[in-house]
Amino acid sequence: MMDRERRLGMGFLSGALGLVILLGALLSIGSVLIAGRDASLGYLPFASQSSEPSGSEAPTAVVATTTGPGVTVPPASDGPRIGLVYTASQAAILASGREDPLRSYRRAIEMHGGRVVSLLVSDPESVTNEKTRLLDGLLLPGGCDVDPELFGEDPHPRLERIDRALDSLQFFLLEFARKLRLPVLGICRGHQVINVFHGGSLYQDIPTQLVDVPPLIHRLKDDHGTHRAVHLIQIASGSEMEVLAGSSTWEVNTYHHQSVKQLGRDLRVTASSADGVVEAIEGTTDWFVLGVQFHPEKDLEHDPRCVALFARFVEAVRAHRAEEEAARARQKNRSEPPR
């Protein structure tokens, strides 16, 4: 009889312990989805495999506060916080105080009231995780080629520089943004990374792989560097791009040699060039995702549509933050005991 009672008692304790563990897991998941700032997916950095060219633009002053060792971010009261991703070499230049290699992107965000959180490939894991929890939105800028291993292909002979550490960080950030529905804007390489993250693939080199139709010039490059080129894009009806352009066509700049091949899940093509190259993609779910193959940050001075593109992105980030704050307030009101 005593053995039977002991076994029953042990069984009850085991079941109770299992229930406590299950409830703890559910509460943990809920804190990520509701609060969005109490937990992190946990970034695991990948050692840098290459160095990339940095920009040559002058820095701009940023008002900031510090939250924890090595983490400097703009105050939330100054506008929605938008993550901007720097390579290791760009981060070194930024840290030197000489210049900001991504100044044009930063300016495009700040001119609409957004505040930049600099997300550095060279940051320690703990710093990246802490910065990520503060984000309201994410901007993935232009840069080097995307590692073809990420979409199941061998490197093409014309593949240029890749940076696996950058790929790793941007995939982590996109997964975090997806789970919390943080608005995302991708430009050039960033546009391509969004597609690969969603399960799509890329042409690794347009001139040698896209040969079924007469190609346009998508990049002017010689021994002295890459030069500005332009072409028309055709814009899909009923898209964000159509609203921004105000018409069915837009003449845009072009600086790339890779492009979207197989479209990823939950995305649609909203602009293309005459040779079929995908020039813009948008999300098809409740997650605001916009990718453009051209560089709107380079044409802010003379194309108001480029200004409008960043304005729309910052507006989406601001609206999402307002929704998050309202949800947290409702959650707090429900959890407080009645007076």
- pLDDT tens profile 241-253: 999 999 999 999 9
pLDDT at residue 208 in the model: 87
The verdict on residue 162 lying in a domain is yes
Q: Which residue type, as a one-letter code, is found at position 157?
A: P
Q: Write the pLDDT tens digit of every residue in 274-310.
A: 888 999 999 999 999 999 999 999 999 999 999 999 9
Q: Name the domain count of the chain.
A: 1
Residue 264 tokens read as 């990823």
Three-state SS string over the chain comes to CHHHHHHHHHHHHHHHHHHHHHHHHHHHHHHHHHHCCCCCCCCCCCCCCCCCCCCCCCCCCCCCEECCCCCEECCHHHCCEEEEEECHHHHHHHHHCCCCCCHHHHHHHHCCCCEEEEEECCCCHHHHHHHHCCCCEEEECCCCECCHHHHCCCCCCCCCCECHHHHHHHHHHHHHHHHHCCCEEEECHHHHHHHHHCCCCEECCHHHHCCCCCCCCCCEEECCEEECEEEEEEECCCCHHHHHHCCCEEEEEECCCCEECCCCCCEEEEEEECCCCEEEEEECCCCCEEEECCCHHHCCCCCHHHHHHHHHHHHHHHHHHHHHHHHHHHHHHHHCCCC
- pTM above the 0.85 mark? no
The verdict on residue 22 lying in a domain is no
Q: Which of 141, 192, 184 is nearest to 295 (CA)?
A: 141
The verdict on residue 53 lying in a domain is yes
pLDDT at residue 31 in the model: 39
Mean pLDDT across 68-81 = 59
Residue 94 belongs to domain with CATH number:
3.40.50.880
- Asked if 306 and 296 touch (Cβ cutoff 8 Å), the reply is yes
The verdict on residue 26 lying in a domain is no
- Asked if 183 and 240 touch (Cβ cutoff 8 Å), the reply is no
C-alpha to C-alpha distances, 102 to 108, 109, 177, 309, nearest whole angstrom: 10, 11, 21, 17
- Asked if pLDDT for residue 97 goes beyond 80, the answer is yes
Q: Which of 84, 59, 90, 82 is nearest to 135 (CA)?
A: 82
CA 196 to chain CA mean position, Å:
12
The verdict on residue 108 lying in a domain is yes
Q: Would the CA dihedral through 311, 312, 316, 317 be positive or negative? A: negative
- Asked if pLDDT for residue 52 goes beyond 60, the answer is no
Mean pLDDT across 91-101 = 94
The verdict on residue 17 lying in a domain is no
Binned at pLDDT 50, 70 and 90, residue 3 comes out as: low
Looking from the CA of 294 toward its CB, the CA atoms found within 13 Å total 27
CA 181, CA 306: separation in Å to the nearest integer?
Answer: 24
What percent of the chain has pLDDT above 90? 62
The verdict on residue 7 lying in a domain is no
Supply the range of the domain harboring residue 207. 40-335
pLDDT at residue 127 in the model: 96
Q: Write the pLDDT tens digit of every residue in 177-234.
A: 999 999 999 999 999 999 999 999 999 998 888 866 666 665 555 544 555 688 899 9
pLDDT at residue 12 in the model: 43
Instruction: Answer with the residue of higher pLDDT: 86 or 48.
Output: 86
The verdict on residue 214 lying in a domain is yes
Q: Write the pLDDT tens digit of every residue in 311-334.
A: 999 999 999 999 999 988 888 888
| Average pLDDT across the chain, whole number | 81
CA 100, CA 94: separation in Å to the nearest integer?
Answer: 5
C-alpha to C-alpha distances, 179 to 116, 172, 174, nearest whole angstrom: 21, 11, 9
pLDDT at residue 333 in the model: 83
Please, which residues have CB within 8 angstroms of residue 46's CB and are 6 or more apart in sequence?
Answer: 164, 165, 167, 168, 169
Catalytic center residues? 188, 295, 297
CA 66, CA 206: separation in Å to the nearest integer?
Answer: 44
- Asked if pLDDT for residue 38 goes beyond 50, the answer is no
Mean pLDDT across 91-118 = 96
- Asked if pLDDT for residue 257 goes beyond 50, the answer is yes
Residue 30 tokens read as 């809920």
